[in-house]
Amino acid sequence: MMANTGTRAGTGFPSWPKYALRFTFGGIWLIDAVLKWLPGFRAGYMGMISGAGQGQPGWLGPWFRFWTNLQSPHPAFYAYLVAVLETLVALAVLFGVARKVSYLAAAGFSVVIWAAAEGFGGPYTSGASDIGTAIIYALVFMCLLTLSAYTGPDTYSVDHYLEKKISWWWKIAEFRNPAQHLVPVTTVPVTTVPVIPAAVIPAAVIPAAVIPAAVIPVPVTTVPVTPDAAPAVNGKARPTAEPAGRR
């Protein structure tokens, strides 16, 4: 017989780096989202989009013209849309809401910002110093996704409480059902004394001291009782039959 104890899968890796990265990165996105709500961002939004294609290779021209033509009729709408999306990303990361879907969506959103608004981090001409910040954001989101898959559910998250209320919520928050994270990791042997039926043990090998007195058979000798040996009743001997010749 083995006694099992359980723990969460992935506990060989501490959880605090995941929380530290999540809260720090969520704070950065919140600051970035607040800046997007300022009037200066809306005023310079279209200039930023059209300027991303300047100095880029000719074969990338259709890509940047597509984004410019798409947003130029309603630049304020797209500026507000970016502000809303960045706010949602910041809140989802800070509070841990639908983490799996949120991390994947935020990584894709970061790639779009890098490819459109930041011009792939270019142009990569003489004097270029970096590849842009949004692509690094995408990589951080993938790191959060990997940590979430490896370490399991986040205790300090809204997902932790929603998974208890909504049975299917783990599908958009986790990579596995939280119930599957409890796995046996240690086994403790439990010794038991085998019970052998007394019928299969020869009586000669069992010491009499270990056998309860109630189960030790006591031989009883029966003595036949004859009329001559019958006990006296009320102090008188029981009379015996007289011989027939004396009657």
pLDDT higher for 183 or 144?
Answer: 144
- 219 vs 191: CA distance, rounded Å: 40
Residue 190 confidence class, pLDDT cut points 50, 70, 90? low
pLDDT higher for 94 or 232?
Answer: 94
The answer to whether 53 and 61 have CB atoms below 8 angstroms apart is yes
Q: What is the pLDDT of residue 10?
A: 45
Residue 150 confidence class, pLDDT cut points 50, 70, 90? confident
Residue 151 confidence class, pLDDT cut points 50, 70, 90? confident
CA 34 to chain centre: 34
Whether residue 185 has pLDDT greater than 60: no
**How many Å from the N-terminal Cα to the C-terminal Cα in the chain?**
86
Choose among 137, 24, 142: nearest CA to 85. 137
Q: What angle do CA 23, 29, 34 make, to 5 degrees?
A: 125
Residue 18 confidence class, pLDDT cut points 50, 70, 90? confident
Choose among 44, 41, 66: nearest CA to 53. 66
Sign, CA torsion 162/165/166/170: positive
> Which tokens hold the place of 103?
């991390």
| Average pLDDT rounded to a whole number, residues 83-108 | 97
State which H helix or E strand residue 6 sits in. strand 2-8
- Distance (Å) of CA 235 to CA 231, 232, 238: 9, 5, 9
Q: What is the pLDDT of residue 130?
A: 82
Q: Which residues contact 129 (CB under 8 A, 6 or more apart)?
A: none
Whether residue 216 has pLDDT greater than 90: no
In 3-state terms, what secondary structure has residue 221?
Answer: coil
| Average pLDDT rounded to a whole number, residues 62-70 | 95
| Average pLDDT rounded to a whole number, residues 209-236 | 53
Q: What is the pLDDT of residue 231?
A: 52
The answer to whether 98 and 115 have CB atoms below 8 angstroms apart is no
- 29 vs 137: CA distance, rounded Å: 9
